[in-house]
Structure 1
Amino acid sequence: MHASTSHLRSYPAPTGLERHDYAQWVLPVRGELQLEVAGAAGHLDRLQGAFVAPAQAHDMQALDENCCLIVDCPAGLLDDATLDHLCRHPWLSLPAALRQRLQGLPERGVHGDPVPYLLYHFAPAGSGARLQALCLAITAAPCGDWTVARMAALVGVSGSRLHALFAREFGLPPLAWASAARLRWAKQQLLEGRAAIGDIALRAGYSEQSALTRALRRETGLTPRQWRARRPQ
């Protein structure tokens, strides 16, 4: 492989453990999936994709009907600093412009090489580097006290500037993005663990179980118990 190749793929069943000598971008077009990469588990949805580095073991499990844009990329296309950065930080917070492109793919098909566009957003020196670093911090600890002031301080801007940056990059206010990360973490815990639903709600930063129930039902139409019943067998 001397250039990237892109294709749309659905995952009707678990892939089993895979490993290959090229890098891979996994960008959800619709549906939700569980991905384990290099021993770390993540939840992929319309706001979060992933990067799988060459030779990293990974396993995908579908939660519903899904479609992803898969971009296979030979490691030689990426400089060492970018490859190392993406290897250490595989979860990608998908910008609004990229989400819009992905939504149109089933009808338009895949045209052109998306790698330059992806690097523009996700390389350590890319346009979205500061916000990606903040999103990674929130993803790692979504139950933290993520106030606008704290998030703005980490990015090094004012609160109003942070709102403007999030609106431009993600099409969401910063607190809405943090709330989505909190719910994503809770959904993953419901599928992977055996902890009580109330304990998961509190650990995710919700004031009580009913707050998690309202948030999950608003997004999926399901209660936490119904969501847990979708646990892959």
Structure 2
Amino acid sequence: MSSPPPLSLDLRSYGPDSTSDSHGFAQIVLPLEGALTMEIGGRGSVIGRGELAFVETDMRHDQVSVRANRSFILDLDPANLSPRLREELGRRPYGALSPAANKLVDFMALMVTQQGASGEAAQAVVDRWAPLLFDTLANGPPKARLRLAALLDRLEAAPGHDWTAAAMARHAGVGVSRLHALFREELDTTPRAWLSELRLKRVREALVSGHLSIAELAYRFGYSDQSALTRALRRATGLPPAAYRRQMQEAAGGEPEPEPVSKTA
């Protein structure tokens, strides 16, 4: 397969059919509208506006959606990325954009709307825009996140714990109001919203494996009951857990496993 230009930006939409592929260049996926259910090297997630997915060179990947969607697909030579950024994106291929990176995506969306997405002029804009995006991503977590690092590690290790704002503040060594300020300033969210997103991410990952029942997942990841988990996943993806599990397993090219049955007393 021939390589694309060093930097190539395309605007694409995806449907419910598998588009499984691999290629000799890297990609950054930036949703603009709707959400994509993705699988990258066997790791599944759902990404939407304000998030990205990174596909390493020659990595098998797939993306599907049951709703209207549009995404920027940035093809690139991974040598354009700093070694640290490439390693971090490869280790965590799904992530949230910083406020600064979001503004750059908004700018490019405006430019594409005004000028179109093809031609030499458009390529010149991409050539200037992409390095700015890479630099913004390479700046990494803000300094204040270092002060939250111990707390974030604790939350990631035990997302199903009955976390309160006061308990999170104690682990971070700050007051509750300061905790909220740090999350707002550096992560552009709240402690509760960050935890909710973490829990939902873990649920999506667990659903792909197909081994645990929905009720067990709800208990394990801190939801009050199965209905609460179902509502949260439907809000995020438009699908209930069983349908999401089937779609992800089919996208990964495997046979969907029978839905586990919860044991009742």
TM-score category (smaller protein): 0.7 to 0.9
Alignment partner of 1:206 out of 220, 223, 229: 223
The answer for the alignment partner of 2:67 in structure 1 is 64
Structure 2 contact 27–56 (Cα < 8 Å) conserved:
yes
* Aligned residue runs from structure 1 range 165-204, under 5 A: 165-187=182-204, 189-190=206-207, 193=210, 195-204=212-221
1:16 matches 2:20: yes
- Shift in CA distance, 99/52, structure 1 to aligned 2, threshold 3 Å: same
- Aligned Cα root-mean-square deviation (Å): 3.9
Structure 1 contact 120–126 (Cα < 8 Å) conserved:
no
What's the secondary structure of 1:143's corresponding residue? Answer: coil
More displaced, 87-96 or 186-195? 186-195
What's the secondary structure of 2:224's corresponding residue? Answer: coil
For residues 122-148 of structure 1, the C-alpha deviation after alignment (integer angstroms, 9 at most, x for no partner) is: 32x435477499698567864356655
The answer for the alignment partner of 1:88 in structure 2 is 91
1:29 matches 2:32: yes
Task: State the alpha-carbon separation in 1 of the partners of residues 26 and 171 from structure 2.
Answer: 30
Task: State the alpha-carbon separation in 2 of the partners of residues 151 and 120 from structure 1.
Answer: 31
Task: State the alpha-carbon separation in 1 of the partners of residues 174 and 131 from structure 2.
Answer: 27
What's the secondary structure of 2:63's corresponding residue? Answer: strand
Which segments of 5 or more consecutive residues in structure 1 lack a partner in the other structure? none
The answer for the alignment partner of 1:126 in structure 2 is 140
The answer for the alignment partner of 2:256 in structure 1 is none
Q: What is the Cα deviation at residue 24 of structure 1?
A: 1.1
- TM-score, structure 2 normalization: 0.66
- Shift in CA distance, 116/164, structure 1 to aligned 2, threshold 3 Å: farther
The answer for the alignment partner of 1:52 in structure 2 is 55
More displaced, 196-205 or 96-105? 96-105
**Residue type matched to 1:72 in 2?**
D
- Shift in CA distance, 167/52, structure 1 to aligned 2, threshold 3 Å: same
- Shift in CA distance, 231/36, structure 1 to aligned 2, threshold 3 Å: closer
Task: State the alpha-carbon separation in 2 of the partners of residues 7 and 80 from structure 1.
Answer: 25
Structure 2 contact 41–60 (Cα < 8 Å) conserved:
yes
Q: What is the Cα deviation at residue 45 of structure 1?
A: 2.1
- Shift in CA distance, 24/146, structure 1 to aligned 2, threshold 3 Å: farther
More displaced, 80-89 or 65-74? 80-89
The answer for the alignment partner of 2:44 in structure 1 is 41
Q: Return the index of the structure with the highest Cα Rg.
A: 2
Which segments of 5 or more consecutive residues in structure 2 lack a partner in the other structure? 118-124, 251-265
For residues 128-173 of structure 1, the C-alpha deviation after alignment (integer angstroms, 9 at most, x for no partner) is: 4774996985678643566557767888876544422432344321
- Shift in CA distance, 18/169, structure 1 to aligned 2, threshold 3 Å: same
For residues 178-210 of structure 1, the C-alpha deviation after alignment (integer angstroms, 9 at most, x for no partner) is: 212323443555566364321221122212223
Task: State the alpha-carbon separation in 2 of the partners of residues 52 and 220 from structure 1.
Answer: 21
- TM-score, structure 1 normalization: 0.73
Give the count of matched residue pairs: 231
What's the secondary structure of 1:118's corresponding residue? Answer: helix
More displaced, 22-31 or 167-176? 167-176
Task: State the alpha-carbon separation in 1 of the partners of residues 137 and 50 from structure 2.
Answer: 14
* Aligned residue runs from structure 1 range 93-108, under 5 A: 93-99=96-102, 102=105, 108=111
Equivalent pairs: percent with the same residue? 35
More displaced, 180-189 or 167-176? 180-189
